[in-house]
Amino acid sequence: NELKGLDLQTGFFTYRQIKAATNNFNAANKLGEGGFGSVYKGILSDGTVIAVKQLSSKSRQGSREFVNEIGMISGLQHPNLVRLYGCCIEEKQLLLVYEYMENNSLASALFGPTNGWLKLDWLARQKICVGIAKGLAFLHEESTLKIVHRDIKCTNVLLDRDLNPKISDFGLAKLDEEENTHISTRIAGTIGYMAPEYALWGHLTYKADVYSFGVVALEIIAGKNNMKYRPNQNFVCLLDWAIVLQQKGDLMELVDPELGSDLSKEEALRMIQVALLCTNPSPVLRPVMTAVVNMLEGRILIDE
Ligand code: ACK
Protein backbone atom coordinates (compact mmCIF):
# COMPACT_ATOMS: atom_id res chain seq x y z
CA ASN A 1 0.00 0.00 0.00
CA GLU A 2 2.89 2.37 0.66
CA LEU A 3 3.75 1.97 -3.01
CA LYS A 4 0.34 3.00 -4.13
CA GLY A 5 0.60 5.73 -6.74
CA LEU A 6 4.37 5.47 -6.79
CA ASP A 7 4.71 2.58 -9.17
CA LEU A 8 3.90 4.43 -12.36
CA GLN A 9 6.44 7.13 -11.68
CA THR A 10 9.48 5.14 -10.69
CA GLY A 11 9.47 2.78 -13.67
CA PHE A 12 10.43 -0.11 -11.40
CA PHE A 13 7.92 -2.59 -10.10
CA THR A 14 8.45 -5.16 -7.39
CA TYR A 15 7.72 -8.78 -8.14
CA ARG A 16 5.17 -8.70 -5.36
CA GLN A 17 3.29 -5.87 -7.04
CA ILE A 18 3.13 -7.71 -10.35
CA LYS A 19 2.09 -10.97 -8.70
CA ALA A 20 -0.72 -9.16 -6.94
CA ALA A 21 -1.74 -7.34 -10.11
CA THR A 22 -1.93 -10.49 -12.22
CA ASN A 23 -3.43 -12.67 -9.49
CA ASN A 24 -0.20 -14.66 -9.33
CA PHE A 25 0.08 -14.96 -13.12
CA ASN A 26 -3.26 -16.70 -13.17
CA ALA A 27 -4.01 -18.56 -16.41
CA ALA A 28 -7.31 -16.72 -16.62
CA ASN A 29 -5.32 -13.49 -16.95
CA LYS A 30 -3.18 -14.71 -19.80
CA LEU A 31 -3.58 -12.63 -22.96
CA GLY A 32 -1.41 -14.77 -25.19
CA GLU A 33 2.10 -15.74 -26.18
CA GLY A 34 4.40 -13.13 -27.58
CA GLY A 35 7.76 -13.33 -29.29
CA PHE A 36 9.67 -13.98 -26.09
CA GLY A 37 7.12 -15.16 -23.56
CA SER A 38 3.62 -14.95 -22.13
CA VAL A 39 1.60 -11.77 -21.76
CA TYR A 40 -0.76 -11.30 -18.79
CA LYS A 41 -3.40 -8.77 -17.94
CA GLY A 42 -3.19 -7.15 -14.53
CA ILE A 43 -4.56 -4.37 -12.37
CA LEU A 44 -2.28 -2.28 -10.16
CA SER A 45 -3.33 -1.21 -6.70
CA ASP A 46 -4.19 2.25 -8.04
CA GLY A 47 -6.60 0.75 -10.59
CA THR A 48 -4.34 1.11 -13.65
CA VAL A 49 -4.88 -1.79 -16.05
CA ILE A 50 -1.61 -3.21 -17.36
CA ALA A 51 -0.24 -5.87 -19.68
CA VAL A 52 2.78 -7.76 -18.34
CA LYS A 53 5.25 -9.44 -20.67
CA GLN A 54 7.20 -12.22 -19.06
CA LEU A 55 10.48 -13.36 -20.56
CA SER A 56 10.06 -17.12 -20.73
CA SER A 57 13.44 -18.79 -21.25
CA LYS A 58 16.80 -17.41 -20.32
CA SER A 59 17.70 -17.30 -23.97
CA ARG A 60 20.37 -14.74 -24.76
CA GLN A 61 18.36 -13.52 -27.69
CA GLY A 62 15.29 -12.93 -25.57
CA SER A 63 17.07 -11.05 -22.83
CA ARG A 64 18.99 -8.94 -25.32
CA GLU A 65 15.72 -7.91 -26.94
CA PHE A 66 14.19 -7.36 -23.55
CA VAL A 67 16.89 -4.93 -22.49
CA ASN A 68 16.77 -3.31 -25.90
CA GLU A 69 13.07 -2.72 -25.55
CA ILE A 70 13.50 -0.96 -22.22
CA GLY A 71 16.25 1.24 -23.60
CA MET A 72 14.34 2.13 -26.72
CA ILE A 73 10.95 3.13 -25.45
CA SER A 74 11.19 3.89 -21.78
CA GLY A 75 11.53 7.58 -22.55
CA LEU A 76 9.16 7.74 -25.48
CA GLN A 77 5.60 8.90 -25.25
CA HIS A 78 3.31 9.31 -28.20
CA PRO A 79 -0.41 8.52 -28.65
CA ASN A 80 0.49 5.89 -31.26
CA LEU A 81 3.19 4.05 -29.35
CA VAL A 82 2.29 1.53 -26.64
CA ARG A 83 3.37 3.08 -23.41
CA LEU A 84 5.93 1.16 -21.36
CA TYR A 85 5.21 1.91 -17.71
CA GLY A 86 8.27 0.11 -16.42
CA CYS A 87 9.86 -3.20 -15.67
CA CYS A 88 10.59 -5.69 -12.94
CA ILE A 89 14.03 -7.27 -12.68
CA GLU A 90 13.76 -9.11 -9.41
CA GLU A 91 14.15 -12.73 -8.36
CA LYS A 92 15.46 -13.76 -11.79
CA GLN A 93 12.31 -12.37 -13.29
CA LEU A 94 12.34 -10.17 -16.34
CA LEU A 95 8.99 -8.45 -16.76
CA LEU A 96 7.89 -5.54 -18.89
CA VAL A 97 4.83 -3.58 -17.84
CA TYR A 98 2.74 -1.83 -20.51
CA GLU A 99 -0.50 0.03 -20.74
CA TYR A 100 -3.31 -2.42 -21.44
CA MET A 101 -4.82 -2.38 -24.92
CA GLU A 102 -8.46 -3.51 -24.87
CA ASN A 103 -8.80 -4.58 -28.48
CA ASN A 104 -5.72 -6.77 -28.89
CA SER A 105 -3.70 -6.75 -32.05
CA LEU A 106 -4.59 -5.45 -35.48
CA ALA A 107 -3.70 -8.89 -36.83
CA SER A 108 -6.36 -10.58 -34.73
CA ALA A 109 -8.90 -7.93 -35.75
CA LEU A 110 -8.12 -8.22 -39.47
CA PHE A 111 -7.42 -11.90 -39.96
CA GLY A 112 -7.37 -13.78 -36.68
CA PRO A 113 -9.50 -16.75 -35.69
CA THR A 114 -11.70 -14.38 -33.75
CA ASN A 115 -12.30 -12.40 -36.92
CA GLY A 116 -15.84 -11.22 -36.91
CA TRP A 117 -16.33 -10.12 -33.32
CA LEU A 118 -14.56 -6.86 -33.90
CA LYS A 119 -15.76 -5.13 -37.04
CA LEU A 120 -13.30 -2.71 -38.50
CA ASP A 121 -15.32 -0.47 -40.77
CA TRP A 122 -13.81 1.94 -43.24
CA LEU A 123 -13.50 4.85 -40.81
CA ALA A 124 -11.81 2.63 -38.26
CA ARG A 125 -9.38 1.29 -40.85
CA GLN A 126 -8.49 4.77 -42.04
CA LYS A 127 -7.91 5.94 -38.50
CA ILE A 128 -5.72 2.90 -37.81
CA CYS A 129 -3.65 3.42 -40.95
CA VAL A 130 -3.05 7.11 -40.23
CA GLY A 131 -2.28 6.39 -36.57
CA ILE A 132 0.42 3.84 -37.40
CA ALA A 133 1.93 6.33 -39.86
CA LYS A 134 1.96 9.02 -37.17
CA GLY A 135 3.63 6.69 -34.66
CA LEU A 136 6.34 5.85 -37.20
CA ALA A 137 6.80 9.47 -38.24
CA PHE A 138 7.43 10.24 -34.58
CA LEU A 139 9.99 7.43 -34.22
CA HIS A 140 11.83 8.38 -37.40
CA GLU A 141 11.68 12.11 -37.40
CA GLU A 142 10.48 13.66 -34.16
CA SER A 143 11.85 11.57 -31.31
CA THR A 144 15.25 12.72 -30.11
CA LEU A 145 16.68 9.30 -30.89
CA LYS A 146 16.02 8.43 -34.51
CA ILE A 147 14.59 4.94 -34.24
CA VAL A 148 14.03 2.23 -36.83
CA HIS A 149 11.48 -0.25 -35.48
CA ARG A 150 12.53 -3.11 -37.82
CA ASP A 151 9.48 -5.30 -37.19
CA ILE A 152 6.39 -3.37 -38.26
CA LYS A 153 3.54 -5.82 -38.92
CA CYS A 154 -0.10 -6.22 -37.94
CA THR A 155 0.70 -8.38 -34.91
CA ASN A 156 2.84 -5.55 -33.53
CA VAL A 157 0.06 -2.98 -33.73
CA LEU A 158 -2.34 -3.02 -30.78
CA LEU A 159 -5.75 -1.37 -30.60
CA ASP A 160 -7.09 0.47 -27.60
CA ARG A 161 -10.72 0.80 -26.49
CA ASP A 162 -11.43 3.44 -29.14
CA LEU A 163 -9.55 1.52 -31.85
CA ASN A 164 -6.60 3.88 -31.74
CA PRO A 165 -3.59 1.95 -33.00
CA LYS A 166 -0.35 1.83 -31.03
CA ILE A 167 2.92 0.35 -32.17
CA SER A 168 4.42 -2.24 -29.83
CA ASP A 169 7.34 -4.66 -29.63
CA PHE A 170 10.52 -2.66 -29.75
CA GLY A 171 12.73 -5.71 -29.19
CA LEU A 172 14.40 -5.33 -32.57
CA ALA A 173 14.41 -1.54 -32.76
CA LYS A 174 17.67 0.21 -33.62
CA LEU A 175 18.98 3.71 -33.62
CA ASP A 176 19.33 5.24 -37.03
CA GLU A 177 22.85 6.39 -36.19
CA GLU A 178 24.75 6.90 -39.35
CA GLU A 179 22.72 9.46 -41.18
CA ASN A 180 20.24 6.81 -42.23
CA THR A 181 22.66 4.37 -43.79
CA HIS A 182 23.49 1.34 -41.75
CA ILE A 183 24.73 -2.10 -42.64
CA SER A 184 23.35 -4.64 -40.23
CA THR A 185 25.26 -7.75 -39.36
CA ARG A 186 22.28 -9.69 -38.11
CA ILE A 187 19.15 -9.48 -40.20
CA ALA A 188 15.96 -9.88 -38.20
CA GLY A 189 12.36 -9.16 -38.99
CA THR A 190 9.35 -10.91 -40.48
CA ILE A 191 9.09 -12.47 -43.94
CA GLY A 192 6.53 -10.69 -46.01
CA TYR A 193 7.13 -7.33 -44.33
CA MET A 194 10.88 -6.92 -44.79
CA ALA A 195 12.16 -4.42 -47.32
CA PRO A 196 14.17 -6.15 -50.07
CA GLU A 197 17.40 -4.15 -49.53
CA TYR A 198 17.35 -5.09 -45.87
CA ALA A 199 16.35 -8.76 -46.33
CA LEU A 200 18.99 -9.26 -49.05
CA TRP A 201 21.91 -7.06 -48.02
CA GLY A 202 21.22 -5.98 -44.46
CA HIS A 203 21.01 -2.39 -45.59
CA LEU A 204 18.97 -0.88 -42.78
CA THR A 205 17.50 2.60 -42.80
CA TYR A 206 14.20 3.99 -41.60
CA LYS A 207 13.00 3.34 -45.17
CA ALA A 208 12.79 -0.35 -44.22
CA ASP A 209 9.97 0.60 -41.82
CA VAL A 210 8.30 2.59 -44.59
CA TYR A 211 8.21 -0.56 -46.71
CA SER A 212 6.73 -2.64 -43.86
CA PHE A 213 4.17 0.07 -43.26
CA GLY A 214 3.16 -0.15 -46.93
CA VAL A 215 2.51 -3.88 -46.57
CA VAL A 216 0.44 -3.22 -43.43
CA ALA A 217 -1.59 -0.52 -45.20
CA LEU A 218 -2.33 -2.95 -48.00
CA GLU A 219 -3.42 -5.59 -45.50
CA ILE A 220 -5.68 -3.08 -43.77
CA ILE A 221 -7.54 -2.21 -46.94
CA ALA A 222 -7.71 -5.76 -48.28
CA GLY A 223 -8.45 -7.42 -44.94
CA LYS A 224 -6.00 -10.13 -45.98
CA ASN A 225 -2.61 -11.31 -44.87
CA ASN A 226 0.08 -10.44 -47.42
CA MET A 227 1.76 -13.84 -47.44
CA LYS A 228 -1.38 -15.94 -47.12
CA TYR A 229 -3.20 -14.35 -49.98
CA ARG A 230 -3.44 -16.38 -53.17
CA PRO A 231 -5.86 -15.03 -55.70
CA ASN A 232 -6.76 -17.58 -58.39
CA GLN A 233 -4.28 -20.40 -59.03
CA ASN A 234 -1.12 -18.34 -59.05
CA PHE A 235 1.11 -18.23 -56.04
CA VAL A 236 1.48 -14.53 -55.49
CA CYS A 237 1.31 -12.47 -52.34
CA LEU A 238 -1.08 -9.58 -51.82
CA LEU A 239 1.59 -7.04 -52.76
CA ASP A 240 2.38 -8.76 -56.08
CA TRP A 241 -1.31 -8.95 -56.78
CA ALA A 242 -1.67 -5.22 -56.09
CA ILE A 243 1.07 -4.47 -58.62
CA VAL A 244 -0.66 -6.63 -61.23
CA LEU A 245 -3.96 -4.86 -60.55
CA GLN A 246 -2.28 -1.45 -60.75
CA GLN A 247 -1.02 -2.31 -64.23
CA LYS A 248 -4.51 -3.43 -65.20
CA GLY A 249 -5.95 -0.20 -63.76
CA ASP A 250 -8.18 -2.20 -61.46
CA LEU A 251 -6.99 -1.36 -57.94
CA MET A 252 -10.48 -1.34 -56.43
CA GLU A 253 -10.50 -5.11 -56.75
CA LEU A 254 -8.15 -5.22 -53.75
CA VAL A 255 -10.63 -3.64 -51.37
CA ASP A 256 -12.08 -5.91 -48.69
CA PRO A 257 -15.64 -6.79 -49.80
CA GLU A 258 -16.68 -6.47 -46.15
CA LEU A 259 -16.20 -2.72 -46.45
CA GLY A 260 -19.64 -1.68 -47.52
CA SER A 261 -21.45 1.51 -48.20
CA ASP A 262 -19.41 3.89 -46.05
CA LEU A 263 -16.36 3.34 -48.24
CA SER A 264 -15.26 6.25 -50.37
CA LYS A 265 -13.69 5.05 -53.61
CA GLU A 266 -11.38 8.05 -53.75
CA GLU A 267 -10.06 7.48 -50.23
CA ALA A 268 -9.68 3.75 -50.80
CA LEU A 269 -7.62 4.31 -53.95
CA ARG A 270 -5.53 6.85 -52.11
CA MET A 271 -4.69 4.35 -49.38
CA ILE A 272 -3.68 1.70 -51.93
CA GLN A 273 -1.56 4.18 -53.88
CA VAL A 274 0.23 5.25 -50.72
CA ALA A 275 0.84 1.59 -49.88
CA LEU A 276 2.35 1.03 -53.31
CA LEU A 277 4.61 4.08 -53.01
CA CYS A 278 5.82 2.83 -49.63
CA THR A 279 6.65 -0.61 -51.02
CA ASN A 280 8.72 0.71 -53.90
CA PRO A 281 11.68 -1.70 -54.31
CA SER A 282 14.03 1.27 -54.20
CA PRO A 283 14.29 2.81 -50.69
CA VAL A 284 15.14 6.29 -51.98
CA LEU A 285 11.86 6.38 -53.89
CA ARG A 286 9.79 5.61 -50.80
CA PRO A 287 8.29 8.65 -49.05
CA VAL A 288 9.20 9.65 -45.51
CA MET A 289 6.51 8.96 -42.93
CA THR A 290 5.39 12.58 -42.40
CA ALA A 291 4.73 12.75 -46.14
CA VAL A 292 2.77 9.50 -45.84
CA VAL A 293 0.59 11.03 -43.10
CA ASN A 294 -0.06 14.06 -45.30
CA MET A 295 -0.90 11.88 -48.31
CA LEU A 296 -3.27 9.70 -46.31
CA GLU A 297 -5.01 12.76 -44.95
CA GLY A 298 -5.28 14.24 -48.45
CA ARG A 299 -2.92 17.18 -47.90
CA ILE A 300 -0.47 15.98 -50.53
CA LEU A 301 -1.85 14.80 -53.83
CA ILE A 302 -0.42 11.64 -55.36
CA ASP A 303 0.54 11.47 -59.03
CA GLU A 304 -0.73 8.41 -60.83
O1 ACK B 1 -3.42 -10.42 -30.66
P2 ACK B 1 -3.41 -10.49 -29.18
O3 ACK B 1 -4.63 -10.80 -28.48
O4 ACK B 1 -2.71 -9.18 -28.60
O5 ACK B 1 -2.28 -11.51 -28.75
C6 ACK B 1 -1.10 -10.90 -28.40
C7 ACK B 1 -0.54 -11.50 -27.14
O8 ACK B 1 -0.70 -10.54 -26.09
C9 ACK B 1 0.94 -11.81 -27.26
O10 ACK B 1 1.67 -10.71 -27.66
C11 ACK B 1 -1.45 -9.45 -26.55
N12 ACK B 1 -0.86 -8.22 -26.02
C13 ACK B 1 0.44 -7.84 -26.07
N14 ACK B 1 0.62 -6.65 -25.49
C15 ACK B 1 -0.61 -6.25 -25.04
C16 ACK B 1 -1.10 -5.07 -24.37
N17 ACK B 1 -0.28 -4.07 -24.04
N18 ACK B 1 -2.40 -5.02 -24.09
C19 ACK B 1 -3.24 -6.03 -24.44
N20 ACK B 1 -2.84 -7.14 -25.09
C21 ACK B 1 -1.55 -7.26 -25.38
C22 ACK B 1 -1.42 -9.47 -28.06
Mean pLDDT value across residues 125-150:
93
Bridge partners of 99, per DSSP, are 50
Ligand 1 atom 13, closest CA: 39
Q: Quote the pLDDT of residue 253.
A: 94
Q: Is 102 in the pocket of ligand 1 (CB under 6 A)?
A: no
Distance (Å, rounded) from C-alpha 40 to C-alpha 109?
A: 19
Residue ranges of alpha helices (H) inside 144-287 are: 196-201, 206-222, 238-248, 265-278
The CA-based dihedral angle spanning residues 37, 38, 41, 45, taken in that order and rounded to the nearest 10 degrees: -60
Q: For 13-63, how does the pLDDT look when each residue is reduced to its tens digit (9 = 90+)?
A: 999 999 999 999 999 999 988 767 899 999 999 999 999 998 876 555 677
Q: Which 8-state DSSP code applies to residue 36?
A: T
Give DSSP secondary structure letters for 115-169: TTSS---HHHHHHHHHHHHHHHHIIIIISSS-EE-S--SGGGEEE-TT--EEE--
| 3-class secondary structure, 202 | coil
Q: Is 36 in the pocket of ligand 1 (CB under 6 A)?
A: no
Query: What's the CA-to-centroid distance between 100 and ligand 1, angstroms?
Result: 8
pLDDT value, residue 261: 80
Pairing of strands 147-148, 95-99: unpaired
Highest average pLDDT, of 103-112, 139-148, 208-217, comes from 208-217
Note the ipTM here.
0.96
Is the model's pLDDT at 234 over the cut of 80?
no
**Cα–Cα dist 154/109, whole Å:** 9
Q: Which of 105, 108, 155 to mutate to test the pocket of ligand 1 (most atoms within 8 A of CB)?
A: 105
**Exposed e or buried b per residue across 96-126, where buried means at least 16 C-beta atoms within 10 angstroms of its C-beta:** bbbbbbebbbbbbbbbbeeeeeeebebebbb
Residue 108 Cβ inside 6 Å of ligand 1? The answer reads yes
Locate the ligand 1 atom nearest the alpha carbon of residue 32 and give its number. 7
Cβ neighbours around 231 below 10 Å, total? 16
Beta bridge partners of 148: 174
Query: SS3 for 32?
Result: strand
Cα dist from 200 to 39, 184, 185, 231, whole Å = 32, 11, 12, 26
Atom number of ligand 1 nearest to Cα 104: 4
Residue 105 alpha carbon, nearest atom of ligand 1: 1
Q: Is the pLDDT of residue 152 over 90?
A: yes
Are the C-beta atoms of 227 and 214 separated by less than 8 Å?
no
Specify the residue with its C-alpha closest to ligand 1, atom 14. Answer: 51
User: What's the 39 CA to ligand 1 centre distance in angstroms?
Assistant: 7
Ligand 1 touching residue 222 (CB < 6 A): no
pLDDT at 175 over 70: yes
